[in-house]
Amino acid sequence: MPRIELQNPNQATGERKEILSQINAAFGTTPNMFKAISNSTAALKMMWSGFGALGAGTFGAKLGEQIAVAVADANRCEYCLAAHTALGKGAGLTLETMSQAQSGKSSDPKTQAALTFAVKLVKERAHISPDDVLALKKAGYSDEEVAELLAHVALNIFTNYTNIAFDVPLDFPKVALK
């Protein structure tokens, strides 16, 4: 049972209603995570605008979803793991690729570098070394992409914490944590 009320999008007004309508249009429904965070219009706006900003960034949806499942598993967030596994499948990734990413693994060296960095950011609470950034650059990432990778991890931590702290009920097919 969620620890805070899941807002009914049909009862929302003003800016909250506008954002929830955008979310509904994007997903074909309003996922429970957004219903929970919409208790605060400011928090909803932050979360949704973060998705929009990163969706228009240099990474494609596939890498974004692989990062999301790696971060979700590292943070033990069942909701985000389920949601991003489904979204990764929708972006054209196989369940095997998503399962590997969940473990922070990829057969592609550049993707592997990103996943290694993302998981280290989570586990070390951002206490990384210059060598960690250098490994990304050696894998072909620019400073812009390194900063964007950090932003992906930060947004996913926000969504992970939302779902864990508020015990948001799953509305995506469950995926087992590793």
Topology of 61-165 in CATH? AhpD-like (1.20.1290)
Q: What's at 24, amino acid-wise?
A: N
- Give residue limits of the domains in the chain: 13-55, 61-165
Please state, in angstroms and rounded to a whole number, the distance separating the CA atoms of residues 19 and 3: 22
Burial 79-105 (b: 16+ CB within 10 A, else e): bbbbbbbebbeebebeeebbbbbbebb
* Residue-wise pLDDT tens digits, 146-155: 999 999 999 9
pTM of the model: 0.97
pLDDT per residue rounded down to tens, the chain (178 residues): 889 999 999 999 999 999 999 999 999 999 999 999 999 999 999 999 999 999 999 999 999 999 999 999 999 999 999 999 999 999 999 999 999 999 999 999 999 999 999 999 999 999 999 999 999 999 999 999 999 999 999 999 999 999 999 999 999 999 999 9
